Amino acid sequence: MDRVFSIIKPSGMTSHDVVYKVRRILSIKKVGHTGTLDPDATGVLPICVGRATKLSDLILNKDKTYLCEMTIGKETDTYDSSGKTIFEKDYSHISEEDIIEALKNQVGEIDQLPPKYSALKVNGKKMCDLVRSGKEDQIELKSRRITINDIEIKEINIPRVVFEVFCSKGTYVRSICHDVGEILGVGAHMSALTRTKTGIFTLENSITLDELEFYKNQNELIKHSYSVEEVLKELPYILLKDNAVKYYSNGGTIESHRFQDKNYDDKSKRVRVYSKEEFIGTGLLTNQGEIVSVKSEKLFNI
């Protein structure tokens, strides 16, 4: 089985726990997730099975949407409610307008410092593991350039604020809350988080682990999962001529005079590649002068 399942991760489970559960339910060893969700967080976690695991990094690169609850007046060492309180301050002087302005400050291309309690690696070791083992001095936090496309405030009931974040990959919503707390001067932390969208996957088209097991027993897994081709459907395509397929499948680069059909434009960088009506995989476009070529990237038919 080479499919993608959009699973609703429950609170209290790690992303690896979900992978283990899916592996057990489906009795398939080759299973991987597409971007870690913190144990306390819930929501959309695409799980790739079989050859679809080659898609993991492509799904990971997609923009994401989160629904976050932030609590002001308290800062924790993990930036969320699972951590130890390290700072508290009276917030009675903070107004709704103050909170709105602080959140606006987070929108756009920004340099964001990740939390020390994160899965980012330093010399091959997760930062959170280094902190917990008393080796925090080995960590040198470096900011990362991310994009917050928009923040939409849903509710303000001080000290709690609920907002939706539309952001690029690599964004830590915990850091948004922490940074807002610093702007306000009273501290803040993320008290709840749900990922509602990543790429084409949404809460509405996702299933729980219990539903996955039910659909497995009912032989209805195909109806509740996605093919590799479906996941990549927004990409333009190239149809190769028959005499180019073998060379391409061996990792070769094919020039455009050996394309039978295409629908990419000048801005296209990645394409779906077909042989006759069969989806082969993805390719990367290069343009040297007036010569356009496609380089074999990921093959899904072998």
162-190 pLDDT per residue, tens: 999 999 988 999 999 999 999 999 999 99
Least confident of 122-131, 195-204, 231-240, 241-250: 122-131
Domain end marker among 141, 174, 193: 193
Q: Closest Cα to residue 47, out of 75, 9, 102, 81?
A: 9
- Give the CATH number, domain containing residue 273: 2.30.130.10
> What's the number of CA atoms in the CB half-sphere (13 Å) around residue 252?
12
The label of the residue with tokens 């999962």 reads 225
Looking at the predicted structure, is the pLDDT value of residue 126 above 80? no
- List the catalytic residues: 38
Across the chain, mean pLDDT equals 90
Which secondary structure element, helix H or strand E, spans residue 130, and what is its range?
A: helix 127-132
Q: Are 207 and 261 within one domain?
A: no
Instruction: List the domain range (segments joined by +) for residue 271.
Output: 235-299
Domain count for the chain: 3
179 within 8 A of 106, measured Cβ to Cβ: yes
Q: Are 98 and 185 within one domain?
A: yes
Q: How far is CA 92 from the centre of its chain?
A: 36
46 within 8 A of 6, measured Cβ to Cβ: yes
CA distance from start to end of the chain: 13
Cα–Cα distance measured from residue 190 to residue 172, given in angstroms and rounded to the nearest whole number = 10
Structure confidence at residue 302 as a pLDDT band (50, 70, 90): low
Q: Give the tens place of pLDDT for each residue, 155-165.
A: 999 999 999 99
**What is the DSSP code (8-state) at residue 34?**
S
